[in-house]
Chain A
Amino acid sequence: MTVKQLSVFVENRAGRLSNITRLLGDNGINIRAMSIADTKDFGILRLIVNDSEKAMQVLKDNSFAVTITNVLALRIADRPGGLADSMACLYKDNISVEYMYAAFISETSETAYLILRPDKTDEAVTALTEGGFKLVSDEELKSL
């Protein structure tokens, strides 16, 4: 139960983000979650989109270095402690989070979604599912 995340290598130059987001927009790709990890010289733009295959093709055709990683899209309760509960669930099984970020999805005001990459994906899926958390698949993501 994972979703496909696109990671795009982006140099720290004016106009790069503008360029990428416009390119995706023009090709009808909707961004559902995103984050940027940055260093002095470059950054990695991580994207969850409604059509990862198409987005990948569009970016490659335009000479971007892009790769796909399987990450988890996790639904949590939108209340104080909601995130803490999910983290505790992973910590209990000694699973670490490499990185995570919030998604732009929200079905109701009671729920929120976050994207996370654990160090052990399969174990994390098991732990969260058994802990009563809802993970979203690529198909489900499209309809959200």
Chain B
Amino acid sequence: MEEVRKYWDEAHECMSREEMKKLQGEKLVKQVRHVWDNVPYYRKKMEEAGVTPDDIKTVDDLCKLPFLSKADLREAYPYGLLGKPLSECVRIQSTSGTTGKRVVAFYTQADVDMWEDCVARAITAAGGNEDDVCQVAYGYGLFTGGAGLHGGSHKVGCLTLPMSSGNTERQIQFMQDLGATILCCTPSYAAYVGETLAEMGLTPDDIKLKAGIFGAEPWTEEMRQEIEKSLGIKAYDIYGLTELSGPGVAFECCEQKGMHVNEDHFIPEIINPETGEVLPDGTKGELVFTAIDKEAFPMIRYRTRDICVLSREKCSCGRTLVRMAKPMGRSDDMLIIKGVNVFPSQIESVLLKMSNATPNYQIVVDRVGTTDTFEILVEISDDMFSDTIKTFEELQKKISNDIKSVLGIRAKIKLVEPKSIPRSEGKAVRVIDKRKLV
């Protein structure tokens, strides 16, 4: 029998530190020149910072470059950060959310190949090869989850089952009938699949799953153990952002001690979110990425807002790629609920339409078992008020539907009395996140 493949790209995944720095430096110099020549938006930022491509000679010069943030993406929407003519682009993906904060990312064929290659590394690290049947139960469509794992699975040569999300009993039936060995989805969905399996009177022995690749939302070690037990698998974490490509920016190996960053494509930095100063490895701060290979959507020093720690400690799996811890929180007010990015301002925009003044509201997020609960308390104001239950129920329904169309997920809307939401220094407390994820 052939020896099981351990790495997808051993040359890069196990590269020495010196070689990696050299490779990153070469790519960075080229990328900065590419951006300077093709992305006027970023060139202007560089000029304002007094930096030219000539100042960037090695990877150590990265810190001289200005940051990009979500605000830049919004300002430059949709084409302002494009590095290639549209005729050379072959794909668009987007983040969840249909108004305001959406991110639209472009890909050339080379970008798609690089992305799928990153995912292939993750699948290989989870023990996947051409003998596997890979069930992709991330949502398909604009969301990068489905597209990313689908592409990576093809690349590895797995028999790919493009299930998309939902219809859990059918998922399990396919899993059984077609002998799926790898499941890719959000961790909360994986947990739900595990629960449904049990409800159907089945055990992990009735399915052939051996591994799961789960990402797109925060999850705990406790949840990992639960999923591993309920499905009889080893569960691997995967990290990514649409801004950078999608899942596969970093992935977990069999050691399950942090995610290896594909740093030959994405250079990670940890900064102080207040000052922008680069912090040494092992220090907690905001994660920043520079995509040194991306052609169509070349993000330089993109601020993820994820609070994280990097570790260069040697990993027993043999990979030398730096490892990032699970993100421990956010440096902005974004919440990830059921895998969907939620900004309180999106909820505000919906509520504003219901009343003359923005009603006071509070988002309450919790996790019951392994599923996120999402509730929005809305204070009734006089101009929203009537004397019949019917009008309140219509109001509740309207808010709920509008939230669903903006965020893609439904929230439970609870109408509450004026001034009943606790104030802190006069301002209502907007978010209560009861989930314990770290």
Contact = CB atoms under 8 A, between A and B. Distances in A.
Interface of A: 5, 7, 9-11, 16, 37-39, 41-42, 44, 46, 63-67, 69, 98-99, 117
Contact of B387 (A7, A11, A16): A7
B144 to A, nearest CB: 37
Contacts of B381: 65
Is chain B's interface secondary structure helix, strand, loop, or mixed overall?
Answer: loop
15 contacts: A5-B387, A9-B380, A16-B417, A37-B389, A44-B387, A44-B392, A64-B417, A64-B418, A65-B380, A65-B382, A65-B385, A65-B418, A67-B382, A67-B387, A69-B386
A11 B420 CA distance: 10
A74 B414 CA distance: 35
Given A9-B380, A11-B416, A39-B393, A67 B386 contact: yes
B87 interface: no
A63 B388 contact: no
Interface in B241-261: none
Contacts, number: 53
B223 interface: no
B297 to A, nearest CB: 45
Contacts of A66: 382, 385
B386 A42 contact: no
Is chain A's interface secondary structure helix, strand, loop, or mixed overall?
Answer: strand
Given A9-B380, A39-B393, A42-B392, A63 B418 contact: yes
A125 to B, nearest CB: 18
B409 interface: no
Contacts of B382: 65-67
Q: Which 8 A-B pairs have the closest CB atoms?
A: A7-B387, A63-B419, A65-B380, A69-B387, A67-B385, A37-B389, A63-B418, A9-B380
Interface of B: 380-382, 384-389, 392-393, 414-420
A98 B388 contact: yes
Contact of B417 (A38, A63, A117): A63
Nearest to B420: A11
Nearest to B415: A42
**In the complex, which of the residues A16, A42, A65, A99 has the most CB atoms of chain B within 10 Å of its own CB atom?**
A65
A10 B417 contact: yes
A9 B385 contact: yes
A103 B415 CA distance: 28
B418 A41 contact: no
A46 B416 contact: no
B62 to A, nearest CB: 52
Given A11-B417, A37-B388, A39-B389, 18 more contacts: A9-B380, A9-B415, A16-B417, A38-B389, A41-B415, A42-B392, A42-B415, A44-B387, A44-B388, A64-B417, A64-B418, A65-B382, A65-B385, A66-B382, A67-B382, A67-B386, A98-B388, A117-B387
B198 to A, nearest CB: 30
A98 B415 CA distance: 22
Contacts of B380: 9, 65
